[in-house]
Structure 1
């Protein structure tokens, strides 16, 4: 697996954007290691975010 800190996210995004205007279902070449590292890094980022919103009463929901 690629070290998530050394993962070249810009390269992955560029490859994904290359097929933006193509037909649906066009394949993008990503290695299994890149996908796993991307998932690990994404998980770290999501888990570092607060889960709950701190809100004060009264709360009006429209």
Structure 2
């Protein structure tokens, strides 16, 4: 069984997998893709802000 738990306001997303066997294996998988995309977007926004400041300073 897989349970998806999300708290959008806190930006928390978790996937928890439960095993029904006698040797239960509980795993938490972190959404690394979302974190990677967030990091890339922060870098791009920072670069665009720096470019805009540089353009504004030349006027």
TM-score normalized by the length of structure 1: 0.37
Higher relative contact order (CA 8 A, sep 6+): 1
TM-score normalized by the length of structure 2: 0.38
Higher strand share: 2
